[in-house]
């Protein structure tokens, strides 16, 4: 037992305080003592004890008064009530006030020791849960959404306001890879529901029968394999948030059941007869225009209107201006944490220009993958055109000397080895066959260039090397 755990003893009987204090100190607790309500509250404020032992009957009030005061100051405070007669009204009042336990007089030391040990374990667990939740909330906060463009800031501001509201249904709309899941988590952890569960399901990843069981749960015997009752996500997420990704892929039969849940705030397990009250915020997301989908009969219009009480449109990366450069640096910094050897400082001017002009059909997810690829392949301290995917480089990159070589990287793609060989040949032509100077242009060693030229059968062009 660590001596840093402090116990506040509140009792008007000096001999009781002395006896308890001696026992507690022998168990390696530190103790502070008070004989009335006023002293107890003062010491609680000054010492911040781990546990408070509160006698019910005090000269200037009741231990229940102390309990109420300390719980108001710190809802996580743990108090154990001590009384000569445990009557029902006092017990009820103490439990409602948040007392951890009751101990009768005369105090049995072994019972007290076990109670204190359990109470400290409870407090430690609460502290760990709180710390974990805080770390999780920081990892999924709005500050983690990188970008300064007006379009993105507008979406974030709307999401912040929605998070602070009591609205129970939110629709996120945006192309694949724009970060709808990140927005959903940020909304949850910025809301009063942050300490309750956040659960997610991809409506396109499972067949309808499994999705229904996952969402609603089922009763024992509801179908052949239902050996016992199972709670679904709605039940598990009580008080929290459910994220329904790709809601547009949900079958019409399930859309009708989801609509009932949203309208009546209750649900039934599969095979169940009893309505279960529901307190869950539902965040749905889609890369489709659900209103248009409803016009052709693929999505229920009434469900769309019910989900889109608040609709947040997340802009594609191509409409976010310089955000692409900010995000690039963010992913470069992240890649450097895993990279061995020389770190990447940023993009070459040509790559920065290509990134600004590229349409990024895969949005932020595509950008992240491009940087991860470059961090593996790149030997220098900047991301170069040589290590970009063919479709990205092909849309914006024209090799010098293309008129003579006939090579322009097509949007349909080209083998990376072909590009490297062509650049090596052009470097040799530009330097008059000087292997050392050509290697400097390509930012590689002479040996690396010689190897590439030998491999491509063009090593003869290096015979004029006078270095």
pLDDT of residue 403: 38
Tokens encoding 442: 């390509």
pLDDT of residue 461: 47
Domain 319-462 in the same topology as domain 140-315: no
* Res 393 pLDDT > 50: yes
* Res 297 pLDDT > 60: yes
How big is the CA angle at 191 (ends 188 and 194), to the nearest 5 degrees?
Answer: 60
Tokens encoding 379: 């030997």
Bridge pairing between strands 276-277 and 266-267: antiparallel
The CATH architecture one would assign to domain 319-462 is Orthogonal Bundle (1.10)
pLDDT of residue 138: 57
pLDDT of residue 228: 84
**Dist CA 71 CA 177 (whole Å):** 45
Domain boundaries, the chain: 6-135, 140-315, 319-462
Q: 3-state DSSP call for residue 456?
A: helix
- For the domain 6-135, what is the CATH code? 3.40.50.2300
**Dist CA 85 CA 99 (whole Å):** 16
Which of 318, 305, 310, 364 lies closest to 158 in space, CA to CA? 310
pLDDT of residue 87: 67
**Dist CA 87 CA 305 (whole Å):** 55
Burial of 241 (0-12, 13-18, 19+ CB in 10 A): buried
pLDDT of residue 20: 94
Distances (CA, A) of 88 to 91, 97, 427: 5, 14, 92
The stretch 175-195 carries a mean pLDDT of 94
Q: State residue 199 phi and psi, 5-degree precision.
A: -125, 145
Of 431 and 402, more confident: 431
pLDDT digits (tens, 9 = 90+) for 332-389: 998 998 877 778 899 988 889 889 888 898 999 999 999 999 988 888 889 988 888 8
Q: Do residues 180 and 172 make contact, with C-beta atoms less than 8 angstroms apart? A: yes
Mean confidence (pLDDT) of the chain = 85
pLDDT of residue 465: 45
Measured in residues, the chain has a length of 467
Give kind and range of the element (H or E) at residue 49: none
Residue 175 half-sphere exposure, CB side, CA atoms within 13 Å? Answer: 13
The stretch 121-136 carries a mean pLDDT of 71
Percent of the chain with pLDDT over 90: 49
Tokens encoding 118: 């359990």
- Range of lowest pLDDT (66-75, 96-105, 230-239, 398-407): 398-407
pLDDT digits (tens, 9 = 90+) for 29-55: 999 999 999 999 999 998 889 999 999
Read off the DSSP letter of residue 198. Answer: E
* Res 178 pLDDT > 50: yes
pLDDT digits (tens, 9 = 90+) for 413-427: 567 777 788 788 878
The stretch 114-132 carries a mean pLDDT of 81
Q: Where are the beta strands (DSSP E) in 253-345?
A: 266-267, 276-277, 281-286, 310-313
Of 209 and 312, more confident: 312
* Res 160 pLDDT > 70: yes
**Dist CA 276 CA 238 (whole Å):** 11
- For the domain 140-315, what is the CATH code? 3.40.50.300
The stretch 80-100 carries a mean pLDDT of 76
* Res 139 pLDDT > 80: no
**Dist CA 142 CA 130 (whole Å):** 19
Q: 3-state DSSP call for residue 286?
A: strand
Give kind and range of the element (H or E) at residue 125: helix 109-139
pLDDT digits (tens, 9 = 90+) for 308-319: 999 999 999 999
* Res 91 pLDDT > 90: no
Of 374 and 459, more confident: 374
Q: 3-state DSSP call for residue 357?
A: helix
pLDDT digits (tens, 9 = 90+) for 365-378: 999 999 999 988 88
Q: Is the pTM of this model over 0.95?
A: no
């Amino acid at each position: 037992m660590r001596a840093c755990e402090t116990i506040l003893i509140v009792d008007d009987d000096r001999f009781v305080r002395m006896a308890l204090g001696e026992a507690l100190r022998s168990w390696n607790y530190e103790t502070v003592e008070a004989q009335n309500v006023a002293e107890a509250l003062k010491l609680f404020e000054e010492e911040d004890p781990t546990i408070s032992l509160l006698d019910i009957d005090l000269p200037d009030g009741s231990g229940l008064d102390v309990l109420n005061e300390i719980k108001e100051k710190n809802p996580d405070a743990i108090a154990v009530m001590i009384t000569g007669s445990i009557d029902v009204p006092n017990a009820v009042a103490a439990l409602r006030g948040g007392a951890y336990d009751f101990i009768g007089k005369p105090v049995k030391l072994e019972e007290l020791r076990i109670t204190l040990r359990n109470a400290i374990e409870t407090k430690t667990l609460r502290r760990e849960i709180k710390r974990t939740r805080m770390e999780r909330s920081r990892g999924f906060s709005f500050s983690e959404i990188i970008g300064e463009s007006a379009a993105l800031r507008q979406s974030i501001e709307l999401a912040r306001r929605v998070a602070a509201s009591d609205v129970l249904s939110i629709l996120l709309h945006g192309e694949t890879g724009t970060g709808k899941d990140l927005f959903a988590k940020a909304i949850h952890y910025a809301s009063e529901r942050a300490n309750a569960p956040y659960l997610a399901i991809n409506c396109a990843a499972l067949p309808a029968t499994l999705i229904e069981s996952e969402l609603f749960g089922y009763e024992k015997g509801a179908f052949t394999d239902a050996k016992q009752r199972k709670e679904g996500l709605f039940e598990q997420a009580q008080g929290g948030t459910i994220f329904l990704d790709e809601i547009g892929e949900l079958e019409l039969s399930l859309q009708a059941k989801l609509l009932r849940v949203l309208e009546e705030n209750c649900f039934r397990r599969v095979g169940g007869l009893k309505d279960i009250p529901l307190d869950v915020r539902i965040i749905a997301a889609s890369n489709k225009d659900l209103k248009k989908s409803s016009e052709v009969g693929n999505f229920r219009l009434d469900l769309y209107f019910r989900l889109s009480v608040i609709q947040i449109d997340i802009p594609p990366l191509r409409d976010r201006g310089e955000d692409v450069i900010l995000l690039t640096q963010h992913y470069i910094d992240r890649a450097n944490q895993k990279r061995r050897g020389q770190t990447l400082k940023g993009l070459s001017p040509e790559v920065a220009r290509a990134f600004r002009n590229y349409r990024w059909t895969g949005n932020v997810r595509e950008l992240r993958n491009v940087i991860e690829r470059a961090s593996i392949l790149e030997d220098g301290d900047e991301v170069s055109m040589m290590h970009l995917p063919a479709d990205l480089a092909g849309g914006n990159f024209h090799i010098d000397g293309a008129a003579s070589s006939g090579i322009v990287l097509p949007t349909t793609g080209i083998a990376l080895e072909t590009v490297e060989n062509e650049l090596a040949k052009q470097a040799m032509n530009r330097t008059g066959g000087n292997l050392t100077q050509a290697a400097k242009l390509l930012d590689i060693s002479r040996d690396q260039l010689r190897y590439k030229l030998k491999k491509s059968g063009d090593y003869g062009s290096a015979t004029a090397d006078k270095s």
